[in-house]
């Protein structure tokens, strides 16, 4: 596992880097050794934010973030979120008898004290509604206007410049974002 740690608006000490590597390193039994893990730590006043993105060789990208007053508490919360997500993903793969090169399961010993029944409801994904609509080509600015008109948090459209499907969305801190195919 390749852990890349970066800091925004703060200097990372060896202690912080060590704590992150030690905690996130515990996830190595789920991940392929060549998996890339990006950790970004930022600080604003009394808010310490930790963002972790796991980019596997194959399979879905796994991401978690948390904001706390204490940086080490934020690292612990993010670790717990990632551990839960990876465990849930592992269970789904095992239930479907699929194999993945990016997630390792051999030699994983589960802690008997953990109550896995709490996640059983989360494993049953039920899509309750399907929606289809025509996507006329438009600019990102037009898509934002359409999104505002229908009072949604996101809007899918065909980008007039690239002719690709894109999504605009409202950001938590204000402003808008766009998701485009790479």
- Domain of 72: which CATH number? 3.30.160.100
- Of the candidates 60, 83, 8, 11, which has an alpha carbon nearest to the alpha carbon of residue 39? 8
Q: Are residues 12 and 90 in the same domain?
A: yes
Residue pointed to by tokens 């190595």: 28
Rounded Cα distance between 118 and 3, Å, is 30
At residue 111, the pLDDT reads 47
At residue 40, the pLDDT reads 93
E strand or H helix that includes residue 111: none
Q: Does residue 131 lie within any of the structural domains?
A: no
Q: Are residues 118 and 57 in the same domain?
A: yes
59 compared with 11, residue with greater pLDDT: 11
Rounded Cα distance between 168 and 178, Å, is 4
- Of the candidates 5, 52, 54, 66, which has an alpha carbon nearest to the alpha carbon of residue 30? 54
Domain that includes residue 79, residue range: 2-123
Residue 122: pLDDT band by 50, 70, 90 thresholds?
low
Count of domains forming the chain? 2
In 26-139, which residue ranges form alpha helices assigned H by DSSP? 71-95, 120-123
Tens-digit pLDDT profile for residues 40-70: 999 888 889 999 998 887 777 888 899 999 9
Q: Does residue 130 lie within any of the structural domains?
A: no
Q: Does residue 132 lie within any of the structural domains?
A: no
At residue 95, the pLDDT reads 66
Residue pointed to by tokens 């596997």: 56
pTM above 0.75, yes or no: no
Query: Given 75, 97, 123, which residue is the final one in a domain?
Result: 123
Residue pointed to by tokens 């801190």: 173
Rounded mean pLDDT of the chain?
A: 82
103 compared with 150, residue with greater pLDDT: 150
């Amino acid at each position: 596992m390749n852990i890349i740690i970066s800091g925004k608006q703060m200097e990372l000490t060896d202690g912080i880097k060590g704590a992150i590597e030690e905690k996130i390193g515990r996830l190595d039994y789920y991940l392929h050794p060549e998996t890339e893990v990006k950790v970004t730590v930022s600080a604003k006043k009394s808010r310490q934010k930790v963002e972790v993105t796991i980019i596997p060789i194959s399979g879905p990208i796994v991401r978690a973030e948390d904001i706390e007053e204490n940086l080490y508490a934020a690292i612990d919360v993010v670790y717990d979120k990632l551990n839960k997500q990876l465990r849930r993903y592992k269970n789904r793969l095992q239930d479907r008898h699929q194999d993945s090169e990016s997630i390792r399961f051999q030699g994983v010993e589960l802690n008997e004290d953990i109550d896995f029944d709490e996640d059983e409801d989360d494993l049953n994904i039920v899509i309750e509604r399907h929606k289809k609509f025509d996507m006329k080509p438009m600019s990102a600015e037009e898509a934002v206007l359409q999104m505002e008109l229908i009072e949604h948090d996101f809007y899918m459209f065909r980008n007039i410049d690239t002719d690709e499907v894109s999504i605009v969305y409202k950001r938590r801190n204000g402003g808008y974002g766009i998701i485009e195919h790479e």
